[in-house]
Structure 1
Amino acid sequence: MKIAHISDTHLGRRPKQTRPGIINQEVRPLEDDFYSAWIKFVNEIVDKARNRPDVILHCGDFFDTPAGYDPSPPPEYARKVAAMTFKQLYDANIPLIIIDGNHGRYMEYRSSTLSVFPVAFDNIHLFTHYDTRNSLRIQQPLFIDINNLNLRVITHPSIESRALSTLGMQSIYKNWIHLQNNSISPDLINIAMAHGMIENSTLHEDFLKGNYQYIALGDDHRMRKVTDHAWYSGSTELWNFNEINTEKGYLMVELEQEKTPPRITTKKIQSGRNIIFDTIEIYPEDTNLQILKRVTDTFDVHGLNTRYEYSTAARVKIILKGKKTYGSSFNIGEVESALRKLALDSNDYNIVEFILDRPDYPEYTKQEDIGQSL
């Protein structure tokens, strides 16, 4: 059996510190990068020249919003991309199993941001955050059997850690995990999928002890092996700069004999953008102009001093480090304002996103105060 394992596509993601405007009157800057990554995946999967998978597992965070304190539904263009690509998978007769993550789900409704799609396409099978809550409450396993594939998929959509910390919930959750693990069928291929991490208490460690032939995981944006039978596929696009050294893409998983570890092939989804992440030292005797020049020299070193072109424009994060003392003449707020205008308002630099991480200086710091703190 061949499985495509993907997760954390975050369709509709809109990074905040980008150039103003709307691209082609459809999307915000960088929003379409997340669509492009998912579209590349679907195009590769349905390509008849390739060996198509028997099933696709999407392990959560299909859409980016709602999430956390942002109750916004997914952008309409994100829904359009979802519908177009789901139609491609439907036409190719490839089943798609999706679970809710902690992004792209409603907290107070039984419906999901994805609920309409299984109604339109019978190859899509959705398990929501609410399904998890209900399954926990009635202590029943949460799975689907795909009979023509001789396959059982046991699912663990996202559940928030604060809900699990409620009095008595930990034992209920642990019992449910054991119930899930005991729901494997000796007559079927048994695989599991989950959105969560042991490290942030959104996935119980015992889930990884189930006798599954493969466990597909989502939530961690790093593509990585957890055990011989369990992997995170990572995210498909750079969500933030903490992920700068992580590979983006998906996994192709081949299952053979029951006790043989699955054969994993990593598939990269290449971004067309340069990602620049640099640290620049500033000194007490610096002026605004000296700091500005140091940053623009860094832009030049990375080849960003060319006319702005959206399709190739870079994502840039600069960290400023250093002390400001009594008598320092630079104003970090003025420096930041000038850099943002250069990077995001002018066409002199090929930059689409600019993040400046700089010290939050008080008005000044006396030299003797610094000496006392050392």
Structure 2
Amino acid sequence: MKIIHFSDTHLGFSDLDVVNEAGINQREADFYKAFSDVIDAIVETRPDYVMHTGDLFHRASPSNRAITFALTQLKRLEEAKIPFIIIAGNHSTPRTSTSSPILQALRTLDNIHPVFEQHYEKVEFDDVIFHALPHVNDERIIPDELEQVEASIDAGRKNILMMHCSVGAHYLMHEFGEWVFPKEKEYLFEKMDYVALGHWHGFGAVGKHKNVFYSGSTERTSSSDKREEKGYVLLDFENGPSVELNTINLRRTRSFTIDTEHYEEAVAGLDLSGIEDALVEVVLTNLTTATSIDITNKEIAAIFGTALHVKVKREFKAAEGSASPDDIESVSLESCFVSHIVESVESREEQERLAGKAKALFARYEESDDDAL
């Protein structure tokens, strides 16, 4: 028996102000590509079953484009007659009972088995039971749901537990509604042939449990996620099971550090190979107030001109004798910034130039902030 396990596809996710030739947000399109790559692999591999452990969509009310795309791709599994079991994650579960769960739409497809009603359900076949526990908003019911799971184990068939949660605090994503699997119930894992988890975006086994795995997400939802290996898990129960991560191609990420004390030399020494269409993060270190104003994000972006997007982080070096936050009186950010310029720069002419530039930047920010109200 072969089963493919994937998760956290977050269809409809978009960020960055970049659109592709079709007028779609480029990062949204990246998530669609990752999903279709996994479906391609499933159709080619033709496993006995496929399971998705939550967060098919990024939002509980996804766009028409995200819904249409998902249905079109899942129809391919329907046509291939591959059973697909999917549970709702916290991103795909409405926060109120008045909203209709989006996964309900998947019930129109015969070989798709969605579990989304915030209660345990078992999806049964001749050789395997999928014990499906979707995301629940009320964590208090979890112990009762797990009792039902335990009572439904069938020693004559394979038993697979599907959940979207954190198994231990290490796997918390610090998101609304997420819940932690109760430690006193972890003995259940030993009664399962495999425990398929969603929510954490990295692939790997959980702690000492050799049969408990997060498949990870199929794309990156945060710039802090620099994992290059994402894809789907292939389970082979002929010997074990064996658990293998099969990776898909993602947009490249590159990270650079520029020491602003030696700015020109650091920029000249950058290795810019492989940055075309990549997501680039640049950390400017040893900044002073003066150099931070002079080195603009636009200037940094121009250095990495062929990248899809450049994110700039700024690290300031501590000024000698600078006051701690507790010693600073409540003043406006603009006043504090200008005062710091005056204290840090000796030349009166340079003080006036930088202070004027800073005030202009704050004025522009306030105008854009007012427009957003």
* TM-score normalized with structure 2 length: 0.75
The residue aligned with 2:39 is 42
Confirm or deny that 1:277 pairs with 2:271.
no
SS at match of 1:242: coil
Q: Is the 8 A contact 2:297 2:312 kept in 1?
A: no
Confirm or deny that 1:63 pairs with 2:57.
yes
Q: Is the 8 A contact 1:189 1:213 kept in 2?
A: yes
Q: Is the 8 A contact 1:154 1:193 kept in 2?
A: yes
Confirm or deny that 1:263 pairs with 2:252.
no
Offset at residue 97 of structure 1 (A): 0.9
Q: Is the 8 A contact 2:218 2:232 kept in 1?
A: yes
The residue aligned with 2:166 is 197
Offset at residue 368 of structure 1 (A): 2.5
Structure-2 change in CA distance of 1:294 and 1:34 (3 Å): farther
State the distance in 2 between where 1:151 and 1:304 align: 45
Structure-2 change in CA distance of 1:242 and 1:294 (3 Å): farther
Q: 2:105 aligns with which of 98, 104, 116?
A: 116
The residue aligned with 2:47 is 53
Structure-2 change in CA distance of 1:296 and 1:74 (3 Å): farther
Q: Is the 8 A contact 1:336 1:356 kept in 2?
A: no
The one-character-per-residue Cα deviations of 1:309-334 (angstroms, maximum 9, x if unpaired) are xxx5010111223253xxx53244x5
Structure-2 change in CA distance of 1:351 and 1:83 (3 Å): same
Q: Is the 8 A contact 2:287 2:316 kept in 1?
A: no
Q: Is the 8 A contact 1:26 1:77 kept in 2?
A: no
Counterpart residue type for residue 228 of structure 1:
K
SS at match of 2:322: helix
The residue aligned with 1:218 is 198
SS at match of 1:203: coil
Unmatched tracts of structure 1, length 5 or more: 67-72, 136-140, 306-311
Q: 1:232 aligns with which of 201, 208, 214?
A: 214
Structure 1 stretch displaced more, 79-88 or 202-211: 202-211
State the distance in 1 between where 2:266 and 2:146 align: 52
Which of 1 and 2 has higher RCO (CA within 8 Å, sep 6+)?
A: 1
Q: 2:272 aligns with which of 289, 295, 302?
A: 302
State the distance in 1 between where 2:301 and 2:255 align: 19
Unmatched tracts of structure 2, length 5 or more: 173-178, 327-373
Q: Is the 8 A contact 1:228 1:262 kept in 2?
A: no
Structure showing greater Rg:
2
Instruction: Calculate percent identity across the aligned residue pairs.
Output: 25
State the distance in 2 between where 1:118 and 1:296 align: 55
Q: Is the 8 A contact 2:55 2:91 kept in 1?
A: yes
Counterpart residue type for residue 267 of structure 1:
N
State the distance in 2 between where 1:75 and 1:104 align: 12
Q: 2:149 aligns with which of 173, 180, 188?
A: 180
SS at match of 1:32: helix
Q: Is the 8 A contact 1:63 1:103 kept in 2?
A: yes
Confirm or deny that 1:241 pairs with 2:241.
no
Question: How many equivalent residue pairs?
Answer: 312
Q: Is the 8 A contact 1:96 1:123 kept in 2?
A: yes
* TM-score normalized with structure 1 length: 0.74
Give the aligned CA root-mean-square deviation in angstroms.
2.9
Q: 2:295 aligns with which of 335, 344, 356?
A: 335
Counterpart residue type for residue 203 of structure 1:
F
Greater fraction of residues in helix: 2
State the distance in 2 between where 1:77 and 1:26 align: 12
State the distance in 1 between where 2:26 and 2:266 align: 23
